[in-house]
Structure 1
Amino acid sequence: MPSVAKISKKSPWREGWKRLRKQKAAMFGGIIIVLFILVGVFAPLLAPYNPNIQHLEMHLQPPSAHHWLGTDDSGRDELSRVMYGARVSLTVGFFSVIGSLIVGALLGLIAGYFGKWVDVLISRIFDVMLAFPSILLAIAIVAILGPGLFNALLAIAIINIPTYGRLIRSKVLSVKQEEYITAARAQGMSKTRILFRHVLPNSWTPLIVQGTLGIATAILDAAALGFLGLGAQPPQSEWGKMLSDSREYITSAPWTVLFPGIAIMLSVLGFNLFGDGLRDALDPKMK
């Protein structure tokens, strides 16, 4: 008997991961992300000092064996505060993106699939929101709701809804013309089932990529709101707030500004590198 060749079915996600591993820049970004996540999760175990306890007699001490990154104007250990700041900034980044992605994807699905006046209404709402600079819109929302970490997270989630909504809308407009969607309609499948069983699974690849890149933007927005005093409130450790509290010591005690700034830069760099690599790995044209 002739031998039958085994046909291996390779998942597109497995193929994407294989291509992603070959990209050194993306892997480097992934390592940075993992390190920051570990630091944030295990901050209570890794931080050498309590980040909120003040030691005024130790204020503005330069980096030393006792305080590796020095102390701030209240004598608090900078290393401990940067570690706890990773927890705050990553929390805002992840959850704001998850919130805006869910709402934006739902609105984009509805607009792209049903079309007509529904599409016009949702698209005009997106256009109005995008007409405002994102950070100014976030400031306005926090000013209405009141300063605080949760309100800053909510504002960042709201301002990014149009980004994900328009992205998935454009993808749905293409997917709903496919033959398998026509076949599903011919079989009498309900619109809700078509949306969530066929349209969404074939449309979420660009959402995952944009979401990864969006976390970097959310971290920057959270730092900006914290710098303006609209985000995390004292004594909570947050990188943007740390920069704001230390801006008058930029010449006399530069370490108080340098290390929170480096933390913001590295975390944003990590997500951007990983997001760029993920986009290339999941793009079928890059095969």
Structure 2
Amino acid sequence: MSEQLARSTPPVVPQHTPAPVEDKAISPWKDAWRSFKKNKIALVGLSIVSFFILIAIFADLLAPYNYRDVNLSDKHISPSAEHWFGTDEFGRDILSRVIHGARISLWVGFFSVAGSVIVGSLLGIVAGYYGKWVDGIISRIFDILLAFPSILLAIAVVSVLGPSLKNALIAIAIINVPTFGRLLRSRVLSVKEEEYITAARAIGMSDTRILVHHILPNSLAPIIVQGTLAIATAIIEAAALGFLGMGAQPPTPEWGKMLADSKDFIIQAPWTVLFPGLAIMLTVLGFNLMGDGLRDALDPRMKS
């Protein structure tokens, strides 16, 4: 009887649970971040930029002294335990002024580039999408602005508006508009010929929706890369205007102005020039390294 039951009962086949299939659909931005994290040099740049951003945010807490405090009896004190970066010709603590200078330089860099991106992108998108006489007028404006050396154009703008940090920011924004405008124009010229743009036109989508929902999102990668590199350039240009006395005015602790005020004491008190110069160099280096890493991560041609 047991033999008959054994024969009639089908053998039990072990059920194997299928292995979970990994979702290979990765967001382009997540893929770019993974590529960015693999670039050690780019991470160094990100660390430097993050360091200076934190210094700028917490400048009031980190500065050991008030950057405005003047003490002529302590002028040109070399770096010591009391004044880590020494003091300047007015006895002001250089470390405190460099810390607060980070806030000013980054503020000028970010907001001037933001203005350039907004205006330049708008003009570039309109020129590339509509073409014809619109493209001709806007392109000629870009050509005129690019015909002048950037620093001379910035000096001319500040001369008209008057020397101040705000006007220096405006001047830096103006001279960088053609860079973003031409970048977006060339990008739009290639994107607007894609099939999905033709399909969007065929279903009656308005030009505004096409520009906002299709063309602009597909043009963000080069804007991000160029914007990061442009911040470094803007910091240098702000320092140059400050050095010439056309940017931040005393007692604002702008790095370029600090260099200008200390140039006569470079032999007597070299630390007054050394530390503001190092701050400019490190900040610009950080943005350049990070920009190169973003370019490698966002450009498909740079990936194997």
Same fold (TM over 0.5): yes
Of 180, 183, 189, the residue aligned with 1:164 is: 180
The equivalent residue for 1:192 is 208
8 Å Cα contact 1:49/1:77 also seen in 2: yes
The equivalent residue for 1:259 is 275
Of 55, 60, 66, the residue aligned with 2:71 is: 55
Of 81, 88, 104, the residue aligned with 1:88 is: 104
The equivalent residue for 2:168 is 152
When the two structures are superposed, what TM-score results if normalisation uses the length of structure 1? Answer: 0.98
Aligned counterparts of 1:72 and 1:220: Cα–Cα separation in 2:
22
Following TM superposition, by how much is the alpha carbon of 1:233 offset from its aligned partner in structure 2, in angstroms?
0.7
When the two structures are superposed, what TM-score results if normalisation uses the length of structure 2? Answer: 0.93
The equivalent residue for 1:179 is 195
3-state secondary structure, aligned to 2:178: helix
Aligned residue-pair number:
287
- Unpaired runs of 5+ residues, structure 1, are none
The equivalent residue for 2:11 is none
For residues 1-287 of structure 1, the aligned pairs below 5 Å read 5=21, 7-287=23-303
Following TM superposition, by how much is the alpha carbon of 1:5 offset from its aligned partner in structure 2, in angstroms?
4.4
Q: Kindly provide the CA deviation profile for residues 49-88 of structure 1, in whole angstroms up to 9, marking residues without a partner as x.
A: 0001100100011001100000000000000000000000
Give the RMSD, CA atoms, in angstroms: 1.3
3-state secondary structure, aligned to 1:217: helix
Following TM superposition, by how much is the alpha carbon of 1:285 offset from its aligned partner in structure 2, in angstroms?
1.5
Amino acid at match of 1:33: V
Amino acid at match of 2:146: L
Q: Kindly provide the CA deviation profile for residues 196-239 of structure 1, in whole angstroms up to 9, marking residues without a partner as x.
A: 11011011210100000000000000000000011111111100
* Structure number, greater radius of gyration: 2
Runs of 4+ in 1 over 6 A off after TM superposition: 1-4
Following TM superposition, by how much is the alpha carbon of 1:278 offset from its aligned partner in structure 2, in angstroms?
0.5
3-state secondary structure, aligned to 1:204: helix
Aligned counterparts of 1:64 and 1:284: Cα–Cα separation in 2:
50
Q: Kindly provide the CA deviation profile for residues 178-199 of structure 1, in whole angstroms up to 9, marking residues without a partner as x.
A: 0000000000000111011101
Amino acid at match of 2:89: D
**Percentage identity across paired residues of the two chains:** 67
Amino acid at match of 1:57: S
Following TM superposition, by how much is the alpha carbon of 1:6 offset from its aligned partner in structure 2, in angstroms?
5.2
